[in-house]
Amino acid sequence: NAGVTQTPKFRILKIGQSMTLQCAQDMNHNYMYWYRQDPGMGLKLIYYSVGAGITDKGEVPNGYNVSRSTTEDFPLRLELAAPSQTSVYFCASRDNHYQPQHFGDGTRLSIL
Amino acid sequence: ELKVEQNPLFLSMQEGKNYTIYCNYSTTSDRLYWYRQDPGKSLESLFVLLSNGAVKQEGRLMASLDTKARLSTLHITAAVHDLSATYFCAVDMADTGNQFYFGTGTSLTVIP
């Protein structure tokens, strides 16, 4: 059982480049989330989705976009990467409001 | 915006000692989650607390929730080195349950 799978694990981008962080879950969870974690800090919610075709902004959405065309996949798009987006990005999913989130292993992104 | 505060931020304790980590949050919610994160790793769910007065225990860790005081505690009994990690509490909004807010974390070091 793979759970939540994030790719890539590491990436270095130049300022102004774009990329997509992939997230897939095989648990048939409706709820999916994207977070960023800056060094020594807690997680900040970027975007979330309550089901295929439905997405909404979290606490820090600026500079990011998401889509949810299937239940399994929830990619996060960075357009025009900036140094402030250097962070560790975690994807998570859960079954319903009363369950904890299951987290992927994270993507470590550096923008130089 | 919901704020989640943890204290202490850093905790160094000797093996065998007891201690409590506190998590305060600023608005109504009756769902609180505790997670553990080892250095460079993802987050692992520890406890889900779903109602006022809820208490959960697993091994040397016990979590409780007081929704009236907007306070959760994570109590560590007879600490061992393996408990060294960063502990996060997280709260979701009472109305939708979709916006998640994490505390800044408590970095625990257990000294032999």
| Residues A85-103: tens digit of each pLDDT | 999 999 999 998 788 999 9
CATH assignment at residue B9: 2.60.40.10
Q: Which residue of B has its CA nearest to A42?
A: B104
pLDDT 10s digits, B67-97: 999 999 999 999 999 999 999 999 987 666 5
In B, residues 22-41, which contact A (CB 8 Å cutoff)? Answer: 31, 33, 35, 41
Does B95 lie at the interface with A, CB-CB under 8 angstroms?
A: no
Burial annotation B22-31 (CB, 10 A radius, 16+ → b, else e): ebbbeeebeb
What distance in Å separates the CA atoms of residue A7 and residue A21, rounded to the nearest whole number? 6
Q: Do A48 and B100 touch (CB under 8 A)?
A: yes
Partner residue facing B48 (CB), from A41, A43, A100 = A100
Contacts of B35 in chain A (CB under 8 A): 100
Q: Do A41 and B104 touch (CB under 8 A)?
A: yes
Is 90 exceeded by the pLDDT of residue A52?
A: yes
- What is the pLDDT, as a whole number, of residue B33? 95
Partner residue facing B42 (CB), from A44, A48, A104 = A104
- What is the pLDDT, as a whole number, of residue B2? 80
Q: Name beta bridge partners: B67.
A: none
The domain containing residue B78 runs over which residues? Answer: 4-111
Is 80 exceeded by the pLDDT of residue A1?
A: no
pLDDT 10s digits, B3-51: 899 999 999 999 999 999 999 999 877 789 999 999 999 999 999 998 8
Q: Do B1 and A59 touch (CB under 8 A)?
A: yes
What distance in Å separates the CA atoms of residue B73 and residue B71, rounded to the nearest whole number? 7
- What is the pLDDT, as a whole number, of residue B96? 62
Residue, of B102 and A96, whose pLDDT is higher: B102
The C-alpha of A95 sits at a distance from chain B's nearest C-alpha, in angstroms, of 12
Is 80 exceeded by the pLDDT of residue A44?
A: yes
Partner residue facing A43 (CB), from B31, B92, B102 = B102
Name the nearest CA neighbour of A87 among A65, A60, A56, A57. Answer: A60
Q: Sketch the domain layout of chain A as residue ranges.
A: 4-111
- What is the pLDDT, as a whole number, of residue B86? 97
Q: Are strands A10-13 and B85-92 parallel, antiparallel or unpaired?
A: unpaired
- For the segment(s) A4-111, the CATH number from 1.10.580.10, 3.90.1210.10, 3.40.50.300, 2.60.40.10 is 2.60.40.10
